[in-house]
């Protein structure tokens, strides 16, 4: 038996390390708890970390850089996409970096930043980039606003703001207005087919749909991002990872209307460390296997996360009828605060109008570790494993789990079609309700 004390110490040190990591983010932590975050939008200069970065930046642009202003970007409310495109082409081909100056707000229609470019190309966003709200601007490609494609050894940084101006899209979402047809709005920032990519020190906010997506990338490092949209904005996932190998996500503060981090099919070696999440739907693997598809996710580590007021904590969600696997997954050192489903595996995930029919096939969930997870839950069932009858969850390991009810009330665990092993204190215990085979 592991005594309880180390667990407590661990939580204290986890929280202490949050304070260190996010020392300069203090206001964000307060802000992320606010459902609509109005002062976040109004006080962009109040972010310690970012102002520090801004101060370190020379105002004049050195000869190794080009500015979008050199290509006619005005930041006067008109569209600056053409200037950005020309500046990009110049910087991409001529071994210089590209700068988006501070103190200005540039409006952009959807734009594709194509590679390949010269190696070690840096895009420095010091100012603000804001999306066009004219929906007919998105006719050619409704799925992307800023799309970075086929880049190798590329960095984006600078402490600036990328604002998807998403309100109009949210109002026209079928999730908000049920009389409207379901169409996918654009993702604010997408990196597609990139290799050796760094994205750091940026704020991404109010996206049309998802904030930031990595698709079919290899070797990605993401750090110090502040990602925010209102808790009721539809499908505004924070960081979406799909078909991507070797990605590290560090020190990000994410408050949104959907998953803070979502990890989808084809992703392997995904590490998320020091994540603050809330509001939002938590940190999710999946959904996987929609429309009877095959989906594989493996080698995921979520280490040191704080989730507050989210609908889920750490979640694996798969649709019935899919195939493939979600395996070798570790969730550890996680602090929950008033989270509705702190620990959840849901193999009956069904995010559509019609109810989903029962199917035999399922994405196999195996080798999942839950270690040092504590805090408070907003609901009674704090551990919820709803696994498939035909493909029960296997190799599930729990160690040092201590979840209580926010305020007062009972808690319980519910385990359906799962086998698990445990060590240390597991509170509450998970009652095995059904286990076939
Ligand atoms: C992507 O970049 C590589 C070089 O890095 C190039 O060979 C390839 O043609 C590019 N692919 C596309 C679709 O542009
Ligand atoms: C929206 O964009 C379309 C073409 O992209 C243009 O014809 C129209 O005038 C724009 N509407 C507004 C309100 O700017
Ligand atoms: C929902 O959309 C319909 C069709 O565009 C519109 O008439 C209605 O006013 C919208 N409802 C709300 C609450 O926005
Ligand atoms: C999933 O993994 C299996 C076994 O490694 C492989 O055969 C299959 O092609 C993979 N499917 C996808 C969609 O990646
Ligand atoms: C906890 O979460 C529930 C449901 O989201 C909410 O109704 C309640 O006010 C929250 N309690 C606290 C103390 O934040």
Question: Which has the closest alpha carbon to 383: 284, 313, 306, 282?
Answer: 313
Q: Can you give the pTM of this predicted structure?
A: 0.88
DSSP state of 180: S
Distance from the alpha carbon of residue 338 to the mean position of ligand 5, in angstroms: 6
Give CA–CA dist 144/17, Å, rounded.
36
Give CA–CA dist 157/56, Å, rounded.
13
DSSP state of 242: E
What band does 279 get if pLDDT is binned at 50, 70 and 90? very high
Distance from the alpha carbon of residue 378 to the mean position of ligand 5, in angstroms: 6
pLDDT in tens, 85-127: 999 999 999 989 999 999 999 999 999 999 999 999 999 999 9
If you search the block for the tokens 């207005």, which residue do you land on?
177
Structure tokens, 82: 């053409």
| Mean pLDDT to the nearest integer, 258-275 | 98
Q: Of 108, 133, 134, which is best to mutate to test ligand 2, by the most ligand atoms within 8 angstroms of its C-beta?
A: 134
Mean pLDDT of the chain: 87
Which residue has a Cα nearest atom 6 of ligand 3? 179
72: phi then psi, degrees, rounded to nearest 5: 95, 10
Structure tokens, 364: 């196999």
Q: Which residues' Cβ are closer than 6 Å to ligand 4?
A: 266, 294, 296, 324
- Structural domains of the chain sorted by starting position, each given as residue range(s) with its CATH number in brackets: 5-63+185-434 (2.160.20.10)
Structure tokens, 94: 């001529």
Q: Other CB atoms closer than 10 Å to residue 30's CB: what's the count?
A: 11
The strand pair at 283-288 and 261-263 is best described as parallel
Per-residue three-class SS string for 315-383: EEEECCCCEEEEEEEEEEEEEEEEECEEEEEECCCCCCCCCCCCCCCCCEEEEEEEEEEEEEECCCEEE
| pLDDT above 90: residue 433 | no
- Would you call 211 a catalytic residue per the annotation? no
DSSP state of 77: S
Q: Which residues' Cβ are closer than 6 Å to ligand 5?
A: 309, 338, 340, 378, 406
Give CA–CA dist 427/79, Å, rounded.
56
- pLDDT value for 39: 31
Give CA–CA dist 37/28, Å, rounded.
10
Q: Is the CB of 119 under 6 A from ligand 3?
A: no
Distance from the alpha carbon of residue 149 to the mean position of ligand 1, in angstroms: 9
- pLDDT value for 357: 87
- pLDDT value for 10: 41
Distance from the alpha carbon of residue 180 to the mean position of ligand 3, in angstroms: 7
Give CA–CA dist 104/125, Å, rounded.
11
| pLDDT above 90: residue 232 | yes
What band does 273 get if pLDDT is binned at 50, 70 and 90? very high
109: phi then psi, degrees, rounded to nearest 5: -75, 175
Higher pLDDT, 321 or 42: 321
| pLDDT above 90: residue 61 | no
SS3 at position 45: helix
The H or E element that residue 8 is part of is helix 4-21
pLDDT in tens, 299-337: 999 999 999 999 999 999 999 999 999 999 999 999 999
pLDDT in tens, 167-199: 999 999 999 999 999 999 999 999 999 999 999
Distance from the alpha carbon of residue 420 to the mean position of ligand 5, in angstroms: 30
Q: Is the CB of 30 under 6 A from ligand 3?
A: no
- pLDDT value for 434: 63
Higher pLDDT, 432 or 349: 349
User: Closest ligand 2 atom, CA of 139?
Assistant: 5
Give CA–CA dist 347/288, Å, rounded.
9
Question: Which has the closest alpha carbon to 188: 172, 212, 217, 215?
Answer: 212
The strand pair at 412-416 and 261-263 is best described as unpaired
Cα angle for residues 70, 71, 76 (degrees, 5° grid): 90
SS3 at position 42: helix
- pLDDT value for 3: 39
SS3 at position 54: helix
User: Closest ligand 4 atom, CA of 324?
Assistant: 1
Q: Is the CB of 180 under 6 A from ligand 3?
A: yes
Q: Is the dihedral of CA 355, 360, 361, 366 positive or negative?
A: positive
Q: CA separation (Å) from 50 to 226, 249, 279?
A: 10, 18, 22
Considering the chain, what percentage of its residues have pLDDT values greater than 70?
85
- Span of 27-36, 110-119, 330-339, 406-415 with lowest mean pLDDT: 27-36
pLDDT in tens, 345-404: 999 999 887 888 889 999 999 999 999 999 999 999 999 999 999 999 999 999 999 999
Distance from the alpha carbon of residue 256 to the mean position of ligand 3, in angstroms: 24
Q: Which residues' Cβ are closer than 6 Å to ligand 1?
A: 115-116, 150, 152
Phi-psi region of 409 (alpha: psi -120 to 50; beta: other; left: phi over 0): left
Which residue has a Cα nearest atom 6 of ligand 2? 136
- Span of 147-156, 169-178, 260-269, 303-312 with lowest mean pLDDT: 169-178
Structure tokens, 215: 């698709």
| pLDDT above 50: residue 35 | no
Alpha helices, DSSP H, located in 22-96: 26-32, 38-42, 48-55, 81-93
- pLDDT value for 64: 87
User: Closest ligand 1 atom, CA of 114?
Assistant: 14
Structure tokens, 346: 């849901």
Question: Which has the closest alpha carbon to 268: 243, 302, 285?
Answer: 243
């Amino acid at each position: 038996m592991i005594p309880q004390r180390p667990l407590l110490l661990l939580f204290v040190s986890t929280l202490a390390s949050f304070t260190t990591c996010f020392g300069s983010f203090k206001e964000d932590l307060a802000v992320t708890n606010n459902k609509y975050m109005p002062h976040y939008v109004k006080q962009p200069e109040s972010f310690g970390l970012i102002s520090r970065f801004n101060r370190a930046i020379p105002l004049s642009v050195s000869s190794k850089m080009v500015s979008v202003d050199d290509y006619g970007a005005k930041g006067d409310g008109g569209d600056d996409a053409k200037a950005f495109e020309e500046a990009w082409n110049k910087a991409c081909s001529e071994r210089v970096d590209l700068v988006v100056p501070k103190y200005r707000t540039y409006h952009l229609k959807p734009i594709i930043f194509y590679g390949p470019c010269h190696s070690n190309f840096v895009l420095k966003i010091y100012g603000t980039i804001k999306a066009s709200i004219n929906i007919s601007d998105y006719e050619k490609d409704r799925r992307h606003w800023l799309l970075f494609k086929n880049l190798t050894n590329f960095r984006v940084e600078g402490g600036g703001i990328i604002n998807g101006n998403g309100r109009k899209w949210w109002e026209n979402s079928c999730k908000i207005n049920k009389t409207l047809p379901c169409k996918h709005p654009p993702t604010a920032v997408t990196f597609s087919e990139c290799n050796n990519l760094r994205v750091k020190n940026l704020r991404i906010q109010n996206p049309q749909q998802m904030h930031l997506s990595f698709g079919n990338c290899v070797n990605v490092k993401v750090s110090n991002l502040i990602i925010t949209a209102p808790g009721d904005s539809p499908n505004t996932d924070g960081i979406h990872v799909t078909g991507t190998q070797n990605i590290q996500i560090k020190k990000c503060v994410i408050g949104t209307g959907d998953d803070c981090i979502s990890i989808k099919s084809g992703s392997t070696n995904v590490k998320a460390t020091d994540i603050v999440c809330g509001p939002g739907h938590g940190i999710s693997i999946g959904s996987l296997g929609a429309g009877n598809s095959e989906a594989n996710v493996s080698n995921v580590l979520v280490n040191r996360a704080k989730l507050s007021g989210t609908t889920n904590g750490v979640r694996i969600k798969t649709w019935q009828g899919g195939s493939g696997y979600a395996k070798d997954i570790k969730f550890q050192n996680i602090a929950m605060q008033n989270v509705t489903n702190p620990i959840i595996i849901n193999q009956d995930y069904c995010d559509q109008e019609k109810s989903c029919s029962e199917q035999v096939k399922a994405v196999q969930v195996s080798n999942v570790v839950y270690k040092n997870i504590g805090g408070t839950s907003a609901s009674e069932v704090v551990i919820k494993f709803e696994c498939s009858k035909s493909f029960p969850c296997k190799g599930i390991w729990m160690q040092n789990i201590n979840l209580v009810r926010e305020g007062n009330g009972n808690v319980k665990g519910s385990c359906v079609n799962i086998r698990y092993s445990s060590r240390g204190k597991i509170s509450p215990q998970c009652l095995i309700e059904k286990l076939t085979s």
